[in-house]
């Protein structure tokens, strides 16, 4: 269990920090150029912040979903490795989005990636729900349904964003932001104690 936490937290920490490698120092000669060189980084800063929020939200998700797990077995480890595979790809699709914010393909690639991330998290949770012996204590049907809704909120929002992106890539991009920050602010309202 602690091994799985260590690997997971390591992969999240590295993916979060590797995002910064896409911010390239501008190559300029004069002071005026320096300011405009930094201004040219604004699209990269937007995608950096979005992806950091994505990683933060999914990390919060794993803290929440693994907290009640009492025992680990191989299929659960494999499902978690699958989720980590999608986490390690975040710096790549972020870099594509930063470079081509006006390409519908880039916005849809990013949304497909986020949707797969959400479905991997859903697969983890479905496995736990089907194997209650792995949990610390039984989950009531009401709690289980609330959790399912919460996990599927992301993929549903991301699919909506992709539809918007077919019309306007920038508007689709904005919907990712809205979905993410709605998720985060909802999470912030929930002040139940997570761990001692």
Q: Does 135 bind a second copy (CB under 8 A)?
A: no
Question: Does residue number 9 form part of the binding site for a second copy (CB under 8 A)?
Answer: yes
* CB-CB contact of 8 with 84 (8 Å): yes
Interface with a second copy, residue 159, by CB under 8 A: no
Structure tokens at 32: 């005026």
| 42/94 Cα distance (integer angstroms) | 14
Query: What's the residue count for the chain?
Result: 196
Q: Does 85 bind a second copy (CB under 8 A)?
A: yes
Q: Which two tokens stand for residue 192?
A: 């139940």
173 binds a second copy (CB under 8 A): no
Rounded CA separation 57/59 (Å): 5
CB 67 within 8 A of CB 195: yes
The residue (of 65 and 118) whose beta carbon lies closer to a second copy is 65
Q: Does 132 bind a second copy (CB under 8 A)?
A: no
Backbone torsions φ then ψ of 85, nearest 5 degrees:
-55, -45
* Contact with a second copy (CB under 8 A) among 43, 58, 59, 161: 59
**Of positions 61, 83, 91, 158, contacts a second copy by CB under 8 A:** 91
Q: Are 86 and 151 in contact (CB under 8 A)?
A: no
The two tokens of residue 1 are 């269990």
Footprint (CB under 8 A) of a second copy, residues 13-42: 13-21, 23, 25-26, 31, 34-35, 38
Q: According to CB under 8 A, which one of 43, 72, 101, 122 is a site residue for a second copy?
A: 72
Q: Which structure tokens are listed for 17?
A: 């920090």
Specify the residue, 142 or 191, whose C-beta has the smaller distance to a second copy.
191
Q: Whole-angstrom Cα distance, residue 23 to residue 43?
A: 10
Give yes or no for residue 10 binding a second copy (CB under 8 A).
yes
Task: State the minimum distance, in angstroms, from the CB of residue 141 to a second copy.
Answer: 23
CA distance 138 to 128: 11
Helix (H) or strand (E) holding 172: helix 169-189
Among 50, 54, 83, 95, binds a second copy (CB under 8 A): 95
Can you give the binding site for a second copy, defined by CB under 8 A?
Answer: 1-7, 9-21, 23, 25-26, 31, 34-35, 38, 49, 52, 56, 59-60, 63, 70-75, 77-78, 81, 84-85, 88-89, 91-92, 95-96, 99-100, 103-106, 109, 184, 187-188, 190-196
């Amino acid at each position: 269990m602690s091994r799985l936490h260590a690997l997971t937290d390591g992969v999240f920490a590295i993916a979060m920090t590797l995002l910064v490698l896409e911010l390239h120092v501008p190559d300029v000669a004069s002071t005026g150029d320096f300011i405009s060189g930094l201004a040219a980084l604004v699209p990269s800063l937007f995608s950096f912040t979005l992806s950091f929020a994505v990683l933060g939200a999914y990390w919060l998700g794993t803290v929440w979903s693994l907290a009640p797990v009492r025992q680990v077995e191989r299929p659960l480890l494999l499902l978690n490795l699958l989720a980590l595979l999608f986490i390690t790809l975040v710096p790549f699709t972020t870099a594509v989005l930063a470079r081509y914010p006006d390409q519908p393909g880039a916005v849809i690639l990013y949304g497909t990636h986020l949707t797969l991330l959400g479905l991997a998290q859903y697969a983890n949770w479905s496995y736990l729900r089907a194997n209650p012996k792995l949990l610390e204590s039984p989950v009531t049907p009401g709690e289980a349904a609330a959790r399912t809704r919460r996990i599927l909120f992301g993929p549903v929002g991301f699919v909506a964003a992709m539809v918007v992106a077919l019309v306007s890539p920038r508007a689709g991009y904005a919907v990712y932001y809205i979905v993410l920050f709605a998720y985060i602010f909802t999470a912030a309202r929930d002040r139940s104690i997570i761990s001692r």
